[in-house]
């Protein structure tokens, strides 16, 4: 049964991108365990505002696990200790009375802190712009079912497409690599006939952009897949490797 | 050049050189097994291999290729680690929890690699310097005939307390090597793209089997001489 708990929240506070950050600990009393983690953060912010203090800046949007906006490193895990969920789907019943919860921003060179727990994740958008699309001519839209796609292939492409680009993979990676994200975004298109036509070009362009933006080299530790809120599999990384190496041998 | 300038290219070089070195280990391990067979049955297979390889041109070229693979693998490892640390940024997490399914070895490959290479220097001094090097240069580096590898190995590992220390050092070395390979083999296959939903778990099993076989071949010889030595000391 959910009950009420008293907790301490140790939060990373950083005034701006260039400012020196530090941890600040806040006490919260009487938090309902049925509350979501972000609701707890809202309660904390209201408390801070009532005390005339600067509220904690954090990213959030849909609060139903599909937008990829929330991004906190809670007790050593991106999106908290629960598996296969985003921070907004994390609930206070995962924590116990008297616990000190440490909340940090994503830490990766390619994701600089903007303020407090907010980081700049435009690097992922830039990777998408480099090749995460299918080039089509203007004109009438063909019927989607005109191209037969085997169910297992469609399923795998859909699994890859479930990536919401939240950045947990790069945040969890000891090498600061964005391979799982890039692999998912390459796979969701390269698996399907419409995207296959440009698969070599896409793999090269998106990987080149990833390297250029300062992400690290993948060493297959698997931390990304273990922490991914959408459980994107490491096998997509193998496909990206295959498509990229294939593209280079075709050059 | 993509093998140097792209992240997958650099990882591809790591996987190719690594896979090549694993093949070499499997050959070297099989060859070493002859030492035990010779000792048990009075054959001379190991020395026959020593004579066959020795300082012949093909063995020298082979050694150079292996040395090149080690150097490339090591240099790339250093570069990759520096780049990855930089990509991680200067700010570290205050709390870092372990993820389920993430092998300890996979996060400590450089450290394990350095241990392996450190012992390799000792190993080269113990054997290569007294065998191929001695034969090539004609310099007498030990009391043994460079082609009598069998006697050289046995003398080192069964030399009383000193032999026990050497055996233990080699066991530590082999353990580090096993951990390195337990991640390295499947990781190399994954990097080459040889994985999918069906094969991911299979290549992990293949990796463990290859690591265990490769290290096991060496381990049998060390354990055999350790037992032999202790047996002799107790008499």
Does position A58 have pLDDT exceeding 80, yes or no? Answer: yes
What is the pLDDT at residue A24?
A: 97
Class of domain A4-115: alpha beta
pLDDT digits (tens, 9 = 90+) for B163-196: 999 999 999 999 999 999 999 999 999 999 999 9
**Structural domain contains residue B96:** no
**Structural domain contains residue B95:** no
- Please state which of the ranges A15-24, A134-143, B80-89 shows the lowest mean pLDDT: A134-143
What average pLDDT does range B40-46 have in this prediction? 94
**Structural domain contains residue B212:** yes
pLDDT digits (tens, 9 = 90+) for B145-163: 888 899 999 999 999 999 9
pLDDT band at A251 (very low <50, low <70, confident <90, very high): confident
What average pLDDT does range B197-216 have in this prediction? 97
Interface of B with A in 197-216 (CB under 8 A): 197, 200
What is the pLDDT at residue B90?
A: 86
Tokens of A186: 């390459």
What average pLDDT does range B75-91 have in this prediction? 95
What average pLDDT does range B83-90 have in this prediction? 94
Which of B8, B110, B201 best probes binding to A when mutated, by most A CB atoms within 10 angstroms?
A: B8
What is the pLDDT at residue B229?
A: 95
Residue of A nearest to B14 (CA): A219
What is the pLDDT at residue B184?
A: 97
**Structural domain contains residue B144:** yes
What is the pLDDT at residue B147?
A: 84
> Is B91 in Cβ contact with A241 (below 8 Å)?
no
What average pLDDT does range A30-36 have in this prediction? 97
**Structural domain contains residue B229:** yes
* CATH number of residue B44's parent domain: 1.20.1300.10
What average pLDDT does range B212-227 have in this prediction? 97
- Percentage of chain B lying above the pLDDT 90 cut: 87
CA pair distance A29, A38, nearest whole angstrom: 16
Question: Locate tokens 């193998």: which residue?
Answer: A238
What is the pLDDT at residue B146?
A: 85
What average pLDDT does range A216-244 have in this prediction? 97
- List Cβ neighbours of A104 (8 Å cut-off, separation of 6 or more): A12, A72, A73, A117, B93, B94, B95
- Percentage of chain A lying above the pLDDT 70 cut: 100
Choose the closest CB to A219 out of B106, B192, B195.
B106
Question: Which residues in chain A touch residue B195, judged by CB atoms under 8 angstroms apart?
Answer: 234-235, 238
Which of B99, B111, B188 best probes binding to A when mutated, by most A CB atoms within 10 angstroms?
A: B99
* Number of Cβ pairs < 8 A linking chain A and chain B: 148
Question: Which residues in chain B touch residue A179, judged by CB atoms under 8 angstroms apart?
Answer: 7
Domains in chain B: how many in total?
1
pLDDT digits (tens, 9 = 90+) for A148-201: 999 999 999 999 999 999 999 999 999 999 999 999 999 999 999 999 999 999
What average pLDDT does range B70-91 have in this prediction? 96
What is the pLDDT at residue A36?
A: 96
Question: Which residues in chain B touch residue A102, judged by CB atoms under 8 angstroms apart?
Answer: 94-95
When the pLDDT of each residue in chain B is averaged and rounded to a whole number, the result is 95
CA pair distance A124, B159, nearest whole angstrom: 61
Question: Which residues in chain B touch residue A108, judged by CB atoms under 8 angstroms apart?
Answer: 87-89
What is the pLDDT at residue B37?
A: 95
> Is A102 in Cβ contact with B95 (below 8 Å)?
yes
**Structural domain contains residue B124:** yes
Residue of B nearest to A110 (CA): B87
**B105 alpha carbon, distance to own chain's centre:** 15
Does position A64 have pLDDT exceeding 90, yes or no? Answer: yes
For residue A78, list its beta bridge partners.
Answer: A73
> Is A217 in Cβ contact with B88 (below 8 Å)?
no
pLDDT digits (tens, 9 = 90+) for A83-107: 999 999 999 999 999 999 999 999 9
**Structural domain contains residue B35:** yes
> Is A172 in Cβ contact with B8 (below 8 Å)?
no
Choose the closest CB to A233 out of B6, B89, B197.
B197
What is the pLDDT at residue A82?
A: 94
> Is A246 in Cβ contact with B102 (below 8 Å)?
no
Range of the domain at B130: 2-88+103-234
Burial (CB count <10 Å: 0-12, 13-18, 19+), residue A32: middle
Would you kindly state where each structural domain of chain A is located, as residue ranges?
A: 4-115, 121-135+148-250
Pairing of strands A4-13, A100-104: parallel
> Is B10 in Cβ contact with A220 (below 8 Å)?
no
Residue B235 at interface with chain A, using a CB cutoff of 8 Å: no
**Structural domain contains residue B93:** no
> Is B190 in Cβ contact with A238 (below 8 Å)?
yes
At the fourth CATH level, the homologous superfamily of domain A121-135+148-250 is: Alpha-helical ferredoxin (1.10.1060.10)
Question: Which residues in chain B touch residue A73, judged by CB atoms under 8 angstroms apart?
Answer: 93, 95
Residue B1 at interface with chain A, using a CB cutoff of 8 Å: no
Pairing of strands A4-13, A22-32: antiparallel
């Amino acid at each position: 049964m959910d009950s009420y708990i008293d907790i301490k929240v140790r939060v990373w506070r950083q005034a701006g991108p260039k400012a020196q950050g530090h941890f600040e600990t806040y006490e919260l009393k009487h938090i309902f365990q049925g509350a979501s983690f972000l609701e707890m953060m809202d309660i904390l912010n209201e408390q801070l505002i009532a005390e005339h203090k600067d509220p904690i800046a954090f990213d959030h949007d849909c609060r139903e696990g599909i937008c990829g906006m929330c991004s906190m490193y809670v007790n050593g895990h991106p999106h908290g200790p629960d598996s296969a969920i985003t921070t907004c789907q994390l609930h206070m019943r995962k924590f116990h009375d008297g616990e000190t919860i440490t909340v940090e921003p994503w830490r990766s060179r390619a994701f600089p802190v903007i303020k407090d727990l907010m980081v700049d994740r435009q690097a992922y958008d830039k990777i998408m712009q480099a090749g995460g699309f299918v080039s089509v001519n203007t004109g009438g839209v063909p019927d989607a079912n005109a191209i037969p796609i085997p169910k297992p292939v469609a399923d795998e492409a859909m699994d890859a497409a479930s990536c919401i680009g939240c950045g947990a993979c790069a945040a969890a990676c000891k090498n600061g690599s964005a391979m799982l994200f890039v692999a998912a975004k390459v796979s969701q298109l390269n698996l399907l006939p419409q995207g296959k036509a440009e698969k070599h070009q896409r793999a090269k362009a998106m990987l080149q952009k990833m390297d250029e933006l300062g992400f690290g080299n993948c060493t297959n530790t698997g931390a990304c897949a273990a922490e991914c809120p959408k459980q994107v599999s490491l096998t997509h990384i193998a496909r990206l490797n295959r498509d990229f190496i294939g593209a280079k041998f075709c050059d | 050049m993509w093998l140097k300038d792209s992240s997958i290219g650099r990882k591809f070089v790591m996987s190719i050189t690594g896979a090549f070195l694993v093949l070499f280990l499997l050959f070297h391990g099989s060859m070493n097994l002859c030492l035990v067979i010779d000792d048990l049955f009075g054959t001379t297979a190991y020395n026959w291999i020593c004579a066959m390889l020795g300082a012949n041109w093909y063995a020298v070229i082979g050694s150079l290729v292996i040395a090149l693979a080690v150097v490339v693998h090591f240099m790339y490892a250093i570069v990759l680690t520096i780049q990855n640390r930089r990509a991680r940024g200067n700010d570290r997490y205050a709390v870092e929890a372990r993820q389920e399914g993430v092998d300890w070895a996979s996060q400590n490959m450089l450290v394990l690699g350095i241990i392996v290479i450190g012992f390799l220097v000792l190993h080269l001094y113990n054997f290569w310097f007294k065998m191929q090097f001695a034969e090539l240069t004609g310099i007498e580096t030990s009391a043994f005939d460079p082609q009598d590898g069998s006697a050289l190995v046995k003398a080192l590992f069964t030399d009383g307390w000193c032999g026990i220390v050497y055996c233990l050092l080699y066991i530590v070395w082999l353990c580090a090597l096993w951990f390195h390979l337990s991640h390295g083999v499947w990781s190399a296959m994954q990097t080459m793209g040889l994985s999918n939903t069906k094969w991911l778990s299979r290549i992990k099993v293949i990796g463990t089997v290859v690591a265990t076989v490769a290290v096991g071949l060496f381990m049998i010889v060390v354990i055999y001489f350790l037992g032999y030595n202790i047996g002799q000391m107790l008499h």
